[in-house]
Structure 1
Amino acid sequence: MSSWKPITLNELEKDIWLSEQALEGPTLKLWELLKVKPTKWKCPPLGDEGGGFWVVALAGNKVIWYNDIEEGFNISNYRSFGEIEEYYTNQLELFELINSIESELHRNS
């Protein structure tokens, strides 16, 4: 039996708030455009035990979600709304991931 417990919505919202404090300018504006109310999405089979993973932002066919097994934020594709297509084990803070996305947008513009 594992001792892992899924993150609660309150704990996740605290992590999001802390990351928001580290964002500013265009990066904060990008986050404001992408963020959604945290919602659990399926990601079988690894997400099954915790009832899915919390998705916190959407951008086209991509989701930003919190992997509470690995304790970090990830970005993955999705085809069906409500189901994360790819499981990743990144252990990024949300502000690090948003900064990375914003930097990538500048490189590609």
Structure 2
Amino acid sequence: MTAWKPISESELYDQIQKTEIDLNGELWNFWQLIKIAPAKWTEKEYGDDGGGFWVVAICGMKVIWFNDIEDGFNISDYKTYGEIEGYYCNQDELSWSVMRLFDLVKFGGDITGQAGPPENLT
């Protein structure tokens, strides 16, 4: 049995670069506004084992972060900078999370409980 190993920063950058190739128009502009240099943030339920999770974007009081246990991106709230509030185990592509957050900003609503690509991305 192979032990779980957190994603490296260079592997994460590879995933981000693959996504950036596919983003265009409003989504590209939105991504340019919210993306940050990946930073490890704490998460109290499952984040200790890997030294936290990589946050790749911040928009208001929400973050897009990579769950390397489940191998996918998620959107969570935060109250304190550096601390993810709420563990999610979606296995979303980064582009799905960017689209979901963009739609939330543009149209309002709630992102909880969603998994898979947004309807207008498929």
Normalised-by-shorter TM-score class: over 0.9
Letter in 2 for 1:20: E
The equivalent residue for 2:80 is: 80
**Which stretch of the first structure deviates more once superposed, 47-56 or 98-107?**
98-107
Alignment gaps of 5+ in structure 2: 109-122
Alignment gaps of 5+ in structure 1: none
**Structure 1 residue 3: Cα displacement:** 1.0
1:43-54 counterparts in 2 under 5 A?
A: 43-54=43-54
The equivalent residue for 2:27 is: 27
1:13-24 counterparts in 2 under 5 A?
A: 13-24=13-24
Structure 1 length-normalised TM: 0.92
Greater relative contact order: 1 or 2 (C-alpha under 8 angstroms, separation 6 or more)? 1
Kindly tell me the number of residue pairs found equivalent between the two proteins. 108
Once the two structures are aligned, what percentage of the paired residues are identical? 48
**Structure 1 residue 4: Cα displacement:** 0.5
Letter in 2 for 1:64: I
Letter in 2 for 1:92: D
**Structure 1 residue 96: Cα displacement:** 1.3
CA distance in 1, matches of 2:65, 2:107: 23
Q: Where has structure 1 moved over 3 Å in runs of 4 or more? A: 103-108
8 Å contact from structure 2 (residues 45, 87) kept in 1: no
Structure 2 length-normalised TM: 0.83
